[in-house]
Chains A and B, each alone.
Chain A
Amino acid sequence: MNSEQTLYEWIDLYAKGKLPADETVALEQRMHTDSEFRHKVEQQLKLIKALHEYGERRELKTNLDDIHAELEKETPVVPIHKTTGSTWKKYWPMTAVAASVALISIVGTLFMTRDLETKQTAYYKELRRNVDQIKKSQSIMMKDIAATKEKGKILPGNYAGTGFLISANGYLATSYHVVKDADSIYIENSTYGSFKASVVSSDPANDVSILKIDSIRLIGAIPFTIAKVEANLAEDVYTLGFPREDIVFGEGSVSALTGYKQNPNAYQISVPVNPGNSGGPLLNNKGDLIGMISGIQTETTGAAFAIKSTKLLNVIDSVKTDSLLVPLILPKQNSLKNSSRVQQVKQWTDYVFIVRIYKNN
């Protein structure tokens, strides 16, 4: 046993407090004087202390583990917040709030959009209703002239278009759609009163019908001619017609030399026309007939159409070749060309008639 080992034995005993009192004093005294010795002893004591504490702590740990196991056995500890520590468990309230916000936003947006849409739909419907009305008006205008079943049902005999004299011996021109399906036709104006008329000839393709006043009665020379040449673009034109019970004047220009869907037999005109104007004469500055109002385009404002007078003449020619009891003699001279428009119109009103269609069902 060397000196170092002896020293260790001493220190062991000292650490355990089992060193005899005199030796303890000697040891401590030596520690005071010999710093190297003291360091050695202290290191040794520290090691022993660490060992000791290690032992105690280890024991304590096992002890606590035992207690914990026991604790788990007798009362399973239920945490107030039963969490597993997962992110979800921690953040679910926030997630829920976020989800609610998202949901509310979505639903809110949906509601709002729906509201918006309803409004738009309403607007659209309204528009459609307008369109419907226009369509209706157009069809009324057409049907007036054409006297459709529906109209006939509602107001038998109360649909009207416009027509005008093309010869002094009682021939009139009007739109085919005005008089088609008619059971009986009466023409009327303030100058001459009312006459019964019948269809002499029709050209559905060009929407032209020729009527004849049944009671032959000479009216006198007609002061205008039917133009044999086409009108020019931008030419000033006017019309007379019966969109209501009274004759109505309307003016504008020739806006195109073709009609609806590039129909070469018609003009597009910027004359305000309404249902009832169908069959009305379209006149130029001289008071000559250059066309006959036939319809309007619903989607476009200020776009009306008129059959060209040249086409009208073609139709009249084809009628003339048929055997007519009364010859159709077209006017040859225009006595209006130097008159003012007011004078022209004053004269013209005598030759424009409201065409009433009666239908029996």
Chain B
Amino acid sequence: MDELIVSEIRKKNEVVLRELYKMHFPMVMNLVCSNSGTEQEAKDIYQEAVIAFYERVQQEHFRLTCRIKTFLYAICRRLWLKRLSEKKRFHGNIDETETFLQIDDVMLDMDEREKQFSQMSKALDGLGEPCRSIIEDFYIRDLSMEAIRDKFGYTNADNAKNQKYKCLQRLKKLFFENT
């Protein structure tokens, strides 16, 4: 069952993701809410965990070492303890828990990715229009230069490419200067 889900998610099957999400949310909600958290906080950390799982599944070398539920629970638990210790409500040693799942690796990876995500978000915000849209269209939405040219009303593809090049240069500067 879990293998099936993993393989479907690897194929980015949205329906399966949806079901997976719905399946395990109550568990996390109980975990958080019975430990002085709110539903909103439960949602936040659950989504982080699901994203972590999702992204990990996308990696080629990913192998499921435990049940998905266990994985999600462990991550949520860890995340929640971290939040609590940030709020000075938890004084235990977080690292001592659940070492057998190699959660530490996952957590590090998550931190890294989260950091990169926020960095990119910031860089894109600093880029301004129309650069941001051009970059996003080309690199994220994978549009062709022709489509971009038409969309932004450039007279020829070279102009659009030129603009894109300039935008990318700026983005590069913004992104890496914060690293």
Question: A: which residues have CB within 8 A of B?
Answer: 1, 5, 8-9, 12, 16, 43-44, 47-48, 50-58, 60-61, 63-65, 67-68, 70-71, 77, 79-87, 89-90
Contacts and interface: CB of A to CB of B under 8 A. Distances in A.
B18 A67 contact: yes
B43 A68 contact: yes
The 4 closest A-B pairs by CB, nearest first: A55-B140, A54-B120, A79-B33, A81-B34
Contacts of A53: 55, 113, 116-117, 120
B121 A54 contact: yes
Contact of B34 (A48, A61, A80): A80
- Does more than half of chain A's interface fall in helix, strand or loop, or is it mixed? helix
13 contacts: A1-B158, A5-B162, A54-B120, A54-B140, A56-B55, A61-B51, A65-B47, A68-B47, A81-B33, A81-B34, A82-B33, A83-B34, A83-B36
Contact of A85 (B38, B165, B168): B38
B142 interface: yes
Nearest to A51: B139
B161 A9 contact: yes
Interface string B122-136: 001000000000011
Contacts of B138: 12
Interface of B: 14, 17-18, 21-22, 25-26, 29-30, 32-39, 41, 43, 47, 50-51, 54-55, 113, 116-117, 119-121, 124, 135-136, 138-142, 158, 161-162, 165, 168, 171-172, 175-176
Contacts of A77: 25-26, 29, 39
A327 B142 CA distance: 152
A85 B141 CA distance: 40
Given A8-B165, A54-B120, A60 B139 contact: no
Given A68-B43, A83-B36, 19 more contacts: A5-B165, A47-B168, A47-B172, A47-B175, A50-B116, A54-B121, A56-B55, A57-B55, A60-B51, A63-B17, A67-B17, A68-B21, A71-B25, A77-B26, A77-B39, A79-B29, A81-B30, A85-B33, A85-B37
B113 A61 contact: no
Nearest to B161: A9
A5 B121 CA distance: 24
Given A44-B172, A52-B139, A81-B34, A57 B51 contact: yes
B156 to A, nearest CB: 12
A58 B55 CA distance: 12
Given A64-B21, A81-B33, A1 B47 contact: no
A84 B171 contact: no
A100 B47 CA distance: 41
A5 B172 CA distance: 13
B14 A63 contact: yes
A8 B171 CA distance: 13
